[in-house]
A and B are shown apart, each in its own frame.
Chain A
Amino acid sequence: GAGVSQSPSNKVTEKGKDVELRCDPISGHTALYWYRQRLGQGLEFLIYFQGNSAPDKSGLPSDRFSAERTGESVSTLTIQRTQQEDSAVYLCASSLNSYEQYFGPGTRLTVT
């Protein structure tokens, strides 16, 4: 079946611009996670959605970062006024039962 998909695969933007990253989870997966992977680093948790519950935003690094999810489907991660330190690969994962998370291919964001 279809896995987690993300778009765009690559995004180059100028410092100060806003960007939107999209994630399509596996159908039926109630949980959705966003992670950030900086060069040479492990993955950092950003935000978690579970059904219609309030999201866990504890990992968002600043108020320039926000995310939305429509029901149990698509999620959008928005970064406002991008900075060079925002350059990273942004990974989305979805999960059905809890701990087993399925990852998308990621969006590589480059802020120039």
Chain B
Amino acid sequence: AQSVTQLGSHVSVSEGALVLLRCNYSSSVPPYLFWYVQYPNQGLQLLLKYTTGATLVKGINGFEAEFKKSETSFHLTKPSAHMSDAAEYFCAVSETGQAGTALIFGKGTTLSVSS
């Protein structure tokens, strides 16, 4: 069965510092991987996705993630944190990427950014 583990329910960084949010997954087949961001009282917004091809994917707001099959990881990074990045981040996996396949989500990581 698929599962997603996000290491660290809460990450705190200073403005301008590197952001690293960790995600490990388990899947019996090559997965489709996603990062979503959720701002307070809002729905989830897709940050980036990996389907096939290049393992380093770039998303919105300067975020990127690298799919590492050998490590079953899909960590999210941003070189320089901004106050507006404070939000909750969810990693998700889909086994097939086909319509009707529900996403399996991690429990989320809350990112705090201090000035």
A42 engages B100 (CB within 8 Å): no
Cα-based distance from A104 to B45 in the complex (angstroms): 9
CB < 8 Å neighbour of B102 from A40, A48, A106: A48
- A-B pairs with CB below 8 Å: how many? 67
Docked CA distance A71–B41 (Å)? 29
In angstroms, Cα B90 to Cα A50, docked, is 24
The answer to the question of B67 belonging to the interface, with a C-beta cut-off of 8 Å to chain A, is no
In the bound complex, residues from chain A placing their C-beta under 8 Å from that of B104 are: 45
- Is B105 an interface residue when CB atoms closer than 8 A count as contact? yes
How many residues of chain B have a CB within 8 Å of chain A?
Answer: 28
**A78 contacts across to B, CB distance below 8 A:** none
Interface set of B (CB-CB < 8 Å, partner A): 4, 9, 32, 34, 36, 41-46, 49, 51, 90, 92, 94, 97-108
8 A–B pairs (Cβ distance < 8 Å), ordered by A: A4-B43, A30-B99, A35-B102, A40-B108, A43-B44, A99-B103, A100-B49, A103-B44
**Which A residues lie at the B interface, using CB under 8 A?**
3-4, 30-31, 33, 35, 40-45, 48, 50, 56, 59, 91, 93, 95, 97-106
